[in-house]
Amino acid sequence: MAPFSPSEEAIQNEEVRLKYRYVDLRRLEMQRNFRLRHDITLAVRESLSAQGFLEIETPILTKSTPEGARDFLVPSRVHPGEFYALPQSPQIFKQILMISGFDRYFQIARCFRDEDCAPIASLSFTQVDLEMSFPRQETVFGVVEHFLTAAFRSAGVTLPTPFPRITYDDAMRQFGSDKPDMRLPGLPMCARLHRCGSRDAADRSGTAGGRLPHSDRGRAEPQGTRGQPSAFDQKKAPSSLMTSSVSPKAFQTLSPRCARSLERPKPTS
């Protein structure tokens, strides 16, 4: 007998839920989740089909290709010592389909990636993959907006169209990242990063010992403090602004002076 009832709204112990999964799936919340997934998938299929896309299924057992993670390997019984690889993404068959005349096709495909577990990583997941031959930018925007609005509408959410657009330069200037979270306000420190970049360029070009760049005039470092963080750099930004908008890769490319100015303030004992 299961230690919980299907009428319970929340079950704290995850291991108990999985052990008695057949009871867990009878709960109303789980039934709603399965229905929601079905409705969203159906809306995506209908939207893309109405826009002239064919749904094509590609092989799961294939050869290994260079991807961003390690492959899951499946040993072959017929050919000892050889292996199949589970696809990390379905795009590996894109070229042969494109040159065969399938100008528009899509897949709701399962992908497999052998990578370390992380909040944004999963060993297997489902993705919507759509391919078009020789599309224009506006065509891509229109297709994606159409099937996304249909998917969200099936979940009871209405998305305003057209979607907001932002250029790469504006994203870097306002958020410090080329993939910003638009729910967050622009980071005031991003202009500061540009100023730090100007100072570093001046240091490398040898102009810091003489005339400073225009953006830094009137803020020259006192004599004997070269290489040390100035009072401007030592001023910490509020911790509420320290978000993931500045990616680790971008953080590593900053100068030590800029990097120090972006670190979170250490709590005092």
Domain presence at residue 112 = yes
pLDDT bucket at 39, cuts 50 / 70 / 90 = very high
Domain presence at residue 77 = yes
Q: Tell me the angle at which helices 137-154 and 28-50 cross, rounded to the nearest 10 degrees.
A: 150
The answer on pLDDT for 26 being more than 60 is yes
47 and 116, same domain (yes or no)? no
The answer on pLDDT for 234 being more than 60 is no
Residue 137 confidence (pLDDT): 92
Q: Which residue has the higher pLDDT, 121 or 174?
A: 174
Final residue of a structural domain among 110, 128, 146:
128
Q: Is there a contact between 59 and 109 (Cβ–Cβ < 8 Å)?
A: no
Alpha-carbon distance of 48 to 129, in angstroms, equals 11
pLDDT bucket at 208, cuts 50 / 70 / 90 = very low
Domain presence at residue 227 = no
Q: What is the mean pLDDT of the chain?
A: 75
Domain presence at residue 215 = no
88 and 99, same domain (yes or no)? yes
pLDDT in tens, 99-158: 899 999 999 988 888 887 666 678 888 999 999 999 999 999 999 999 999 999 999 999
pLDDT bucket at 202, cuts 50 / 70 / 90 = very low
* Residue 65 domain boundaries: 59-128
The 3-state secondary structure of 33-77, one letter per residue? HHHHHHHHHHHHHHHHHHCCCEECCCCCCECCCCCCCECCEEECC
Number of domains in the chain: 3
Give the distance between the most distant pair of CA atoms in the chain.
Answer: 82
The answer on pLDDT for 247 being more than 60 is no
Residue 212 confidence (pLDDT): 38
The answer on pLDDT for 184 being more than 50 is yes
Query: Would you report the helix, strand and coil content of the chain in percent, each value rounded to 5?
Result: 40, 10, 50
Q: Which residue has the higher pLDDT, 218 or 170?
A: 170
Residue 44 confidence (pLDDT): 96
pLDDT bucket at 91, cuts 50 / 70 / 90 = confident
